[in-house]
Amino acid sequence: MMRQYELVERVQAYNPNADEQLLNKAYVYAMQKHGSQKRASGDPYFNHPLEVAAILTELKLDDASIAVGLLHDTVEDTDATRAEIDQIFGAEIATIVDGLTKIERLNLVSREEAQAENLRKLLLAISQDVRVLLVKLADRLHNMRTLQYMRADKQQRIAQETMDIYAPLAGRMGMQDMRNELEDLSFRILQPDHYKAITERLEHLQAENKETIDTITRELTERLSAEGIVPRVKARVKSPYSIFSKIQRKSIALEQLSDMIGFRVIVGSTEECYRTVGFIHTTWKVVPGRFKDYISVPKHNDYRSIHTTIVGPSRQRVELQIRTEEMDRIAEFGIAAHALYKDGSSANLGRIENESQAYGSLRQSISHLTSGISAEDFLEYTKLELFQDQVFCFTPRGRLIALPRGATPIDFAYALHTDIGDTCVGAKINGLILPLVTQLRSGDEVEILRDQNHRPPSNWIGIAATGKARAAIRRAVRQSSQQRAYALGEHVLNMMLEREGVMLDDSESKTLAEELGQTGKREFLIAVGEGKIGSEDLGNALAKVKGIRKRRRKLDLPVADTADGWFALRATDQFKFRVPGGQHAGPNAKAALAQLDFHTPVTITGEGVVPGDRLVGILEPNTPLTVYPIHSDALIEKHDGDVAWVDVRWDVTATEDKLYPTVVSMESVNRPGSLAQISAAIASCEANINNLVMRMISPDFHQMIFEIEVRDLAQLTDVLATLKRSPGLSAVQRAGLREASMISTLEWDGKIDRSARRDER
């Protein structure tokens, strides 16, 4: 165990003015509070905060950070309190300790929810003081180093959490050495066989190429020195996990990797970096496509360096990273390398965002993630927003936008502004109109096309790659859905009020809402529109509020109920339905069903109906029961008619192995192989294509309408989902009557009104 004076000496080695009294006080307090506590390894618990403090001294952090490293578990694991820490050590240290303390005694229903809430609290604390993150990463690093003493299942969970959250956070802050160690420690637990194979290969490679490494190091040093550049050349070996990731990403064998060992050339200035590149490129042959200038355009985590690959001595590829001493220090220690954090002055915290692009970017991302997002989405969006490699794109005016790899124009639009994303209808990429599903590449110039009347469809959630975009889309979809539900609920209520010949004032509306278990008029109308409150419940509540005596009709139901209380009915030879009987029928339906002849075939209207579609039965006087799909336009005319609305369900027990025709439409990029791609996607879902109509609606796009055969709604949903995931397709949907009629007539009746189509969607 490190002694008290040894810790102080480690801090004083890089900070002669260290607050020795503060460090001694924190050491003694933490040791007393943890007392006889033991870790899973059997060691005294105090060893852990002491090792965390030691890791922080390696990063050369300020006195307050070292003290927090000693105290970080006291509030969570001992009888220490936030107030006590505040009183003894001051508000600054107490605030950081509080940011590191897990949320306790929350009424959470799952481990994921608890993890999300703890991560949310941690990120909010990080956005106020970056030292919270630095101490947390040191804490996690020591826990990972001693993970072998935990149960196997706990090892897996902690390693996965480290790989998903903490290692990428270290990378986001430019702390590459810490990221590599966290990833390798997690990789060893999660993929032990792969870890063993790669580490053995690396050991063999280093031994085999020792002479070559020495030769390259010596030759680079001598040749650059002759040009007046004094370099420091050092070989570096890729981490096992980075090698594994590259193998997975490029689908290649371990033996095919040529850059497991690279070289860093560290020179005196930025100007010498470019001189070095020029000399190297004129001395050795360059491998095409392997030059990257991160000095001109730094990475989001402040990383700056020039990367290039040459064909060096012995005709082997040599990967080089050329940078200055300062760039090298930031590449290894990231945000911890900024001297700004080392004086412990909270007054300087306001300048962090200006000093560090990485921290400023992190704070902006955190503000997006913590603005009202639900716990169930928070972890997913955090991983999307914070933890992906990036591409750099430009607006037409030259503004640089950093996005995660795999981002689309939708993400670009939301990165500019939420309103731009909500009203985005298309995009020009490098001057060409391309689908919104197109993945962006570094250097692309993106222009967003907008329509102020447009609102994002729900399928954009599966296309967007950033947490900000997904959160905004889900919020917009929810708002649009609520607006539609509100309008529908208002229509239903007005029809009921008109039928009864009554009106509601504000007070009665509030009473009606409370009667239905809602907080206000808007909430209960939305619930009615969403189907959460049925018309019968609404009618009963309205009758109670207005004092209306309900009129009842005498029931005379047939006795031919099936076992489950539903009548089995047949629509010609295609469909089998059930309608409610006995206790399953509402009062209105019972009265209507009393006059129904159950031996008369049911009439079904509407093209393209498949088993599983939501249905409603309409019973008119002296007319057989007519079944409509719930989206049928014909139902609009029935709202005010003298008809009975009957609940209808599919007769699942009588389902037969048949195929039913239906129609789907989509827009496709005009390119070779697009029709084959669509056909293959439909075939992969075991659906059959009966007919096809297609039309060029612009030089770049076709509209395609397919008549396909499916077993039921589940298979149709699978087809639609598969098509939506296919690159180059957009506006994938189940076709309406207009498109269906095109299939039946094989004729087009004029140019499609795209704005009208958009409104329908």
Active site residues: 76-77
Q: CA 107, CA 114: separation in Å to the nearest integer?
A: 9
Distance (Å, rounded) from C-alpha 464 to C-alpha 477? Answer: 14
Contact (CB, 8 A) for 33 and 79 = yes
**Neighbour count for residue 589 (Cβ, 10 Å):** 21
Structure tokens at 393: 């794109």
* Residues 604 and 673 sit within 8 Å (Cβ to Cβ): no
Q: Taking CA 663 as the corner, what is the angle to CA 661 and CA 668, rounded to the nearest 5 degrees?
A: 140
Which tokens sit at 149? 């003493």
Nearest to 36 by CA among 26, 27, 47: 47
- Long-range (24+ apart) CB contacts under 8 A made by 413-416 are 413/448, 413/469, 414/464, 414/466, 414/468, 414/469, 414/472, 414/473, 415/466, 415/468, 415/469, 416/448
Nearest to 586 by CA among 619, 546, 610: 619
Q: Which of 131, 256, 611 is CA-nearest to residue 248?
A: 256
Both tokens assigned to 515: 């009667």
Residue 641 to residue 618: CA distance in whole angstroms? 10
CA gap 182, 176 in Å, rounded:
10
Amino acid at 703: Q
What gap in Å lies between CA 357 and CA 410, rounded to an integer? Answer: 24
Dihedral sign computed on CA atoms, order 411, 417, 419, 425: negative
CA 414/CA 423 separation, integer angstroms: 10
Residues in contact with 123: Cβ distance below 8 Å, sequence separation at least 6, in sequence order: 366, 369, 370, 382
C-alpha to C-alpha distance for 560 and 729, rounded to whole angstroms:
51
DSSP string, 414-431: HHH-HHHHHTEEEEEETT
- CA torsion sign for 8, 10, 15, 16 is positive
Closest CA to 698 of 758, 752, 740: 752
Q: What HEC string does 640-670 produce? A: CCCCEEEECEECHHHCCCCCEEEEEEEEEEC
Q: Which amino acid is at 419?
A: D
SS3 assignment, position 732: strand
List the structure tokens of 657.
């192995």
Own/partner long-range contacts of 275-283 (Cβ < 8 Å, ≥24 apart)? 275/227, 275/229, 276/224, 276/229, 276/231, 276/322, 277/306, 277/308, 277/322, 279/223, 279/224, 279/227, 279/229, 280/308, 280/310, 280/320, 280/322, 281/308, 281/310, 283/223
CA pair distance 373, 473, nearest whole angstrom: 12
Find the distance separating the first CA and the last CA of the chain, reported in whole Å: 67
CA-to-CA distance for 490 and 737, rounded, in angstroms? 27
Is the Cβ–Cβ distance between 48 and 142 less than 8 Å?
yes
Closest CA to 139 of 102, 89, 176: 102
